[in-house]
Every structure is written in C-alpha cells, then in structure tokens.
Amino acid sequence: MVEERAVQDTQDEREPGRRDRKKAATRRDLLRSAARMFAERGYQETTVKDIAAAAGVTERTFFRYFPSKEDLVFAEILDFVPLLKEEIARRPADEPPYTAVLGGLFAAAGRLDGGLGILFVGVPPRAMSTGTRRGGVLAGFEDGIAEALGDRLARRSPDEPAPARALRASVLARAAVAAVRGALIAFTTRDDSPADTPVPVEDFARLLREAFAVLRTGGE
C-alpha cells in the first residue's frame, strides 16, 4: 500500500493540479488517522510511524507535511478556527456570547469526521509543549473567537465605540478558551482514569458544558 502510494505521488508530480489535490487529500488523511488513533490509544501512545501507516504513507511523507506529531495537532486546531467562526456567526442573534461560543463549538466539531472527539479527545493539554509555537496556536484560536464575537457585538450594539467592543470581544473569547482548556484538563486528569487513557467523548462534552456554566454564573 505504501509503495503504491509512493508511485502515485511520483506520477502526480507531473500534473500540478492533480498534485495539489493529492497533497490536500494526503494531509487530510494524516489528520484523520491521527485524530482517530489519539482517541483510541491516547496521544502519547500513538507514534508518527503509526499515523503514517494508518494513512497509507511513509514516515518520510508524514514529515513533508508536519515537522512533528505535535505540529499535526496544532495544524488541526488552526484548521478548526474558520469552521468555528462560521458556526458562531450562525447562532441566533439574541444568544449571549458564551452560549453562542459553546453552541458554535459543538456545531463546528460536528462538521469534522468523528465529531468533538476528533479535535479534542486523546491529546492531554499537558502533553504538549509550552513554547512559542503553542502560544501562537492558542492565540490564533482566541483571536478567531474574538473576531466572531466582535462581529456579533457590532450587530447588537452598533453605537458602541469600536475599541470598547474589541476589548469586550477579546476578554470574552479568552475566557471561553480558558473554559475549554479547563474542561480538557479535568477530562484528562480524572482520579479514576490515567492522564493518557481515552475515555468516552460524552464525558468531555459534559465537562465542557459545565465549564461554560461556570463562566455564565461567575463561579457562584
């Protein structure tokens, strides 16, 4: 299978349009295979070799698309941001910001193969690096939500000064992402489950709802 894929890649190089489509399909296959294996085995137990084999390519091909397993996860998060922005924009106009973000998260995740589990489950946040790359991805996630919320606020309060509206959207977005991270940490460090052991996706969905409830009530 891998040898056949290598031959096909060589043929595709002769046709630019076909090559681009093939590259996009290979990247998508790698992301899907990784997400499925992370959910089934856990992030730490899944190797680059495993992901490449599941996608029908070599490890060398994997590294042509992603410098590391961690970068693959970061890429998937960034790919998710445009979907999330679209879904937040589609939420009912009278929904409070946190409700719109939570609904947008579930709706956007539903557009992925495997739903919510594909994006979040199996990758403990503490298993990832804390360097500049992670910070940039986190900021991109926050900025995407802030932009979507800013657009909603502009429609609801058109007379509000733009700087004040931007600040409000930024604070709301970063608080929402903190709720997501809090739910992830709670999900992957439960007393009854090792940190890297996959558990039902429904458990994370419940924790995510609880985390957003904390935001809406102010923790009281």
Are 17 and 94 contained in the same domain? no
Along the 220 residues of the chain, how does pLDDT read in single tens digits?
555 555 455 555 556 688 888 999 999 899 888 888 887 777 788 899 999 999 999 999 999 999 988 888 888 888 889 999 999 999 999 999 999 999 999 999 888 765 565 566 555 555 555 566 677 888 889 999 999 999 999 999 899 999 999 999 999 999 999 999 888 888 777 665 554 455 566 788 899 999 999 999 886 6
pLDDT digits (tens, 9 = 90+) for 38-80: 877 777 888 999 999 999 999 999 999 999 888 888 888 888 8
Are 194 and 165 contained in the same domain? yes
What sections of 93-200 are H helices per DSSP?
97-110, 116-119, 132-156, 162-188
Which of the listed residues 36, 66, 96 is the one where a domain comes to its end?
Answer: 66
Domain extent at residue 150: 68-220
Are 150 and 89 contained in the same domain? yes
Are 94 and 181 contained in the same domain? yes
Are 30 and 20 contained in the same domain? yes
Cβ proximity of 46 and 69 under 8 Å? yes
At position 198, the amino acid (one-letter code) is P
Are 93 and 197 contained in the same domain? yes
Overall number of domains in the chain: 2
Phi, psi of 119 (to 5 degrees): -85, -45
pLDDT digits (tens, 9 = 90+) for 5-24: 554 555 555 566 888 889 99
Name 23's Cβ contacts closer than 8 Å, sequence gap at least 6: 65
